[in-house]
Structure 1
Amino acid sequence: MARMLVERNYRSFRRTWVIIASGFFEPVFFLFAMGVGIGSLVGDVETEGRLVPYVVFVAPALLAASAMNGAVFDSTTNVFFKLKYAKLYDSVLATPLGPRDVALGEIAWALLRGLVYSAAFLAVAALAGAVTSPLALLAVPAATLIGWAFASIGMAATTYMRTWADFDYVQLAILPMFLFSATFFPLETYPAALQGVVQATPLFHGVAMVRDLMLGQVGPDLLVHVAYLVVLGLVGTAWTARRIERLLLR
């Protein structure tokens, strides 16, 4: 039944597609500002024992960040409005849908939004010469996995928020991950004491997974990144379903 909520969201947002499309431009601007602009000053970067142009290094990270941003935005602000102000889910419960359908439907919609951002960004990255391997096509399903992990955790966190001011905490979590998850610099450039902290963040695993695929460097580490994000997605989905059920049926 969750697919019915996905269809409802699609019918609603197709009239405001410009707002959704606007979220795609931020990583594209970063790609050309950081990858092309700063990349011309930096030159080549060593990653996994291989020298690559800086734009090739940074593009996978921005793709992963695009999936994260699209999923988090939709699973937090939009869900909060529907839950606290529009009271949409109270109406949904008058239909055959239940609280767990609400959780799965909203997570699926946020995941689809992150998927659209990522696919569009991959096309732009290819045009910019930042794609060097046919395995880059697998970056799209990889971005879907990233979107699932962040959408489920983001929606679970939203169920605890009381006012719009609480969204400052979301930004406080997202911005450092965006800047310091080996997004713009190789992991080896961080102090040894911080490398373990960086590797513990979910975006690091998303960035490393997408980067391996776009560079065609597939190894055992890829399974670690996939497992980390799958576990995060499962935990987040179960947590969200329980919280939504508790809030709507209390």
Structure 2
Amino acid sequence: MSSMNPQATGESTQSEKRQETKAPSSKMPKRVVRITAALCAISLIWAVVTLVQALLAYQKVSSLSSETSNLQSQSASIEQQLTETQQKAATARVQPWCDSVTPASASDAGKIQDLLKQLKTVDPKGEYAEQVCPNKVKAFTINQDYSKLQASLEDISLKCEADGNHVRISGELKKYKGPKEATSSMKKSNLTLTITSSLEGTTDTATTQAKIEGINPGESKQFKAEADLPAKALTCRVSAVSWWPADLK
């Protein structure tokens, strides 16, 4: 039992020494792995932080965009409500003017001037009146132009018979032309003729009116009128012609 192999013992000792010598070299890869793992962990954390920051920034931008869109929508809604309120107020102002434009007011020169002044006050641009009563606005405008210009081109014969302070008027409108601007629904017309009489022994004049109703372009119609005057009538003439569509009240 005491006979042990010295050579074997020596080899075993040398093998152990070689293992002890190599042991430190096996520790180096572990450090590298740890360092690499730490770096990877740091990189991952940094990537996560960067991603979170990016997501937060995107969420903030999206939120701001949504708020901006909501503000724009609210602004558009408020602007629309304001416009509607203004339109309602303007309509309320214009409606009485539309109601006062009638065949009678359109045949009176003084009332026409008053209506023009009123319209400039309640609707300077005339945009709301055209929405509330477009046909009346058009007829009112046509009447002004016709009365000033085209009426003088109509062929009207006139006869006045004086009987003391009373005068009988008769006449005929031949081949009525009518306003060129009148639409097809306005061709049938009612006319009001203002007839001015010169009075005997004075420089005064007196006026009366004669009506021609339901006349179409190309037609001829007779008319009559009578008037009591403060003096004898010497001469008579048609001093103005007012036009209005027969079907527009």
TM-score (norm 2): 0.27
Higher strand share: 2
Answer 1 or 2: higher relative contact order, Cα 8 Å, separation at least 6.
1
Q: Is the radius of gyration larger for structure 1 or structure 2?
A: 2
Higher helix share: 1
